[in-house]
Amino acid sequence: MSTQQRHLLDLVEIVTRLRGPDGCPWDQEQTLKSMRPYLLEEVYELLDAMEQDAGEDGLEGELGDTLFVLLLITAIAAEEGSLTLESVAGRIVQKMITRHPHVFGGDDETPDPGGISAWEARKLKAGRSRLEGVPKSLPALLRAHRQGEKAAAAGFDWPDHHGVFAKLDEEIAELREAIAEGDQDAIEHEVGDVLLSAASLARHLSAPPEAALRRANERFSSRFRRLEQLAEEEGIALSGCTDDAVLDGLWERAKAEERMC
């Protein structure tokens, strides 16, 4: 048995012991419902480690935490009799073999067997929409991205990013009209269309919108914190400052300092 295999078995045994009669009270009382926020938290922490180009220890640590939570959820479900770790592993093994006939052997006449279109075609079941596999609980921007990918796999897409730019311009023009009319429902509708078009543009540019926006949020947060520090150093009260030139100057200085780092 390899060291890797032994560590995996050790982790499974640790989860079993924590849930056992002499285990940890916190782990023992967890349910599928109670574990949902912990899983979400770990996934977002893992995303942070991936997006911030964290060192090996950071990514390794977050992967370990996520794996532990997944194994704990599996153990809880197994105790309820709905599945076992073996059945979970067996199902995904068979699914991956079926979805990759170009790797594991099998009939596959698609022109690009390793592409997204072929992948989506293998997943599609009779009578189901291609979009049914996109959870409604996903963050809205991520859902827009995934729905766009699936629609594109069926051929419903712009040929390149130029067409998406034209669509985005069209949606912005419609938003301006809604604003001019003062119709709040129409404004919300058009804002949604603008964001949906922006998500499509990001997909065409190979810049996943959820990750791009998370990074933009981090940049804004870092720059604004520095703007606050600069304002305090110069005795400027932000809450009472109405001079756009002063605020713009502070913002540009914060940006410049960031580029120098």
* pLDDT confidence band for 51 (50 / 70 / 90): confident
E strand or H helix at 234: none
- Show contacts of 25-29: CB within 8 Å, 24+ apart: 27/72
Q: What is the mean pLDDT of residues 58-70?
A: 94
Question: C-alpha angle with apex 258: 50 to 63, nearest 5 degrees?
Answer: 10
Question: C-alpha angle with apex 162: 161 to 165, nearest 5 degrees?
Answer: 85
Which ranges constitute the DSSP H helices of the chain?
Answer: 3-19, 25-29, 36-51, 56-79, 85-99, 101-104, 116-123, 140-153, 161-181, 184-204, 209-233, 244-260
Q: Is the pLDDT of residue 114 over 80?
A: no
> Other C-beta atoms within 10 Å of 261: how many?
5
- Residue in 192, 152, 193 with CA at minimum distance from that of residue 171: 193
* pLDDT confidence band for 115 (50 / 70 / 90): low
Q: What is the mean pLDDT of residues 99-125?
A: 65
Q: Is the pLDDT of residue 220 over 60?
A: yes
Which pLDDT value is given to residue 230? 94
Q: What is the mean pLDDT of residues 188-207?
A: 97
Dihedral sign for Cα atoms in the order 98, 145, 133, 36: positive
Kindly list the distances between the CA atom of residue 242 and the CA atoms of 210, 215, 220, 227, 238, in Å, as whole numbers in the listed order: 33, 29, 20, 15, 8
Which pLDDT value is given to residue 35? 96
**What percentage of the chain carries pLDDT values higher than 70?**
89
Which pLDDT value is given to residue 78? 96
pTM over 0.75: no
* Fold topology of 3-97: Helix Hairpins (1.10.287)
* pLDDT confidence band for 209 (50 / 70 / 90): very high
Higher-confidence residue of 227 and 137: namely: 227
| 196 vs 188: CA distance, rounded Å | 12
* pLDDT confidence band for 49 (50 / 70 / 90): confident
What is residue 62's DSSP assignment? H
- Do residues 49 and 62 make contact, with C-beta atoms less than 8 angstroms apart? yes
* pLDDT confidence band for 113 (50 / 70 / 90): low
Q: Is the pLDDT of residue 52 over 70?
A: yes
- How many CA atoms lie less than 13 Å away from 247 in the CB half-sphere? 9
Q: What is the mean pLDDT of residues 123-143?
A: 79
Sequence-ordered list of residues with C-beta below 8 angstroms from that of 227, at least 6 positions apart, any chain: 238, 247, 250, 251, 253, 254
> Other C-beta atoms within 10 Å of 38: how many?
15
| 86 vs 170: CA distance, rounded Å | 52
| 166 vs 209: CA distance, rounded Å | 18
Q: Is the pLDDT of residue 251 over 90?
A: yes
Which pLDDT value is given to residue 25? 95
Q: What is the mean pLDDT of residues 169-197?
A: 97
